[in-house]
Amino acid sequence: MSSDFKKTKGISIVLCGAAGQGIKTIEKLLVHALKSSGYHVFASREYMSRVRGGNNSTEIRVCRDEVSAFVDRVDILIALSPGIRPNIMERVSKETLIIGDKDNVGNEFSEDLSFYDASFLKEARELGGRVYANSIAAGVIFGILNVRRDVVKGMFDQIFSSKGGSVVEKNMDAADAGILKGEQIRSSQGLYLEMTSLSSREERIALDGSEAVSLGAIAGGCNFIASYPMSPATGVLTYLASHARDFDIVAEQIEDEIAAINSAVGASYAGARSMVSTSGGGFALMSEGLSLAGVMETPVVVHLAQRPGPATGMATRTEQGDLNLAVYSGHGEFPRIVLAPATIEDGFYLMKKAFNLADSYQVPVILLTDQYYLNTFYDVPVFDVKSENNRYHIIKADNGYRRYEITENGISPRSVPGYGPGLVGADSHEHDPWGHVQEDFVLRKNMVEKRLKKLEDLKNETIPSYFSGAEDFKYLVISWGSTYPVIEEALELLDHDDVAHIHLRQIYPLENLLGEHIKRAKKTITIEGNATGQLAMLIKQTTGFSVDTCITGYRGLQFSVEEICDRLEAVFEGKEE
* Average pLDDT score over the chain: 92
In the chain, helix, strand, coil percent, each to 5?
A: 40, 20, 40
DSSP state of 162: G
% of the chain with per-residue pLDDT over 90: 75
Bridge partner list, 41: 62
What is the distance between the alpha carbons of residues 391 and 43, in angstroms, rounded to a whole number?
35
Residue 258, pLDDT above cutoff 60: yes
Residue 444, pLDDT above cutoff 70: yes
% of the chain with per-residue pLDDT over 70: 95
Average pLDDT over residues 140-166: 88
- Residue 161 pLDDT grade (very low, low, confident, very high; cuts 50, 70, 90): confident
pLDDT in tens, 340-387: 999 999 999 999 999 999 999 999 999 999 999 999 999 999 999 988
Tell me which long-range contacts 539-544 makes (C-beta under 8 A, separation of at least 24): 539/478, 539/510, 539/514, 542/509, 542/510, 542/514, 543/510, 543/514, 543/515, 543/518, 544/515
DSSP state of 385: T
* Amino acid 6: pLDDT: 45
Structural domains of the chain in order of their starting residue, each with its CATH number:
11-188 (3.40.920.10), 207-381 (3.40.50.970), 394-461 (no CATH), 466-572 (3.40.50.920)
* Amino acid 111: pLDDT: 86
Residue 442, pLDDT above cutoff 50: yes
Average pLDDT over residues 485-505: 97
DSSP-derived secondary structure for 459-522: HHTPPPPEEEE-SS-SEEEEEEGGGHHHHHHHHHHH--TTEEEEEESEEESPPTHHHHHHHH-S
Pairing of strands 364-370, 300-306: parallel
Residue 395, pLDDT above cutoff 50: yes
- State pTM to two decimals: 0.94
- Residue 4 pLDDT grade (very low, low, confident, very high; cuts 50, 70, 90): very low
What is the distance between the alpha carbons of residues 297 and 413, in angstroms, rounded to a whole number?
11
pLDDT in tens, 117-142: 998 888 889 988 888 898 999 999 99
* Amino acid 53: pLDDT: 61
What is the distance between the alpha carbons of residues 234 and 352, in angstroms, rounded to a whole number?
19
Average pLDDT over residues 433-444: 96
Residue 199, pLDDT above cutoff 50: no
* Amino acid 28: pLDDT: 86
What is the distance between the alpha carbons of residues 42 and 14, in angstroms, rounded to a whole number?
12
* Amino acid 456: pLDDT: 87
* Amino acid 190: pLDDT: 57
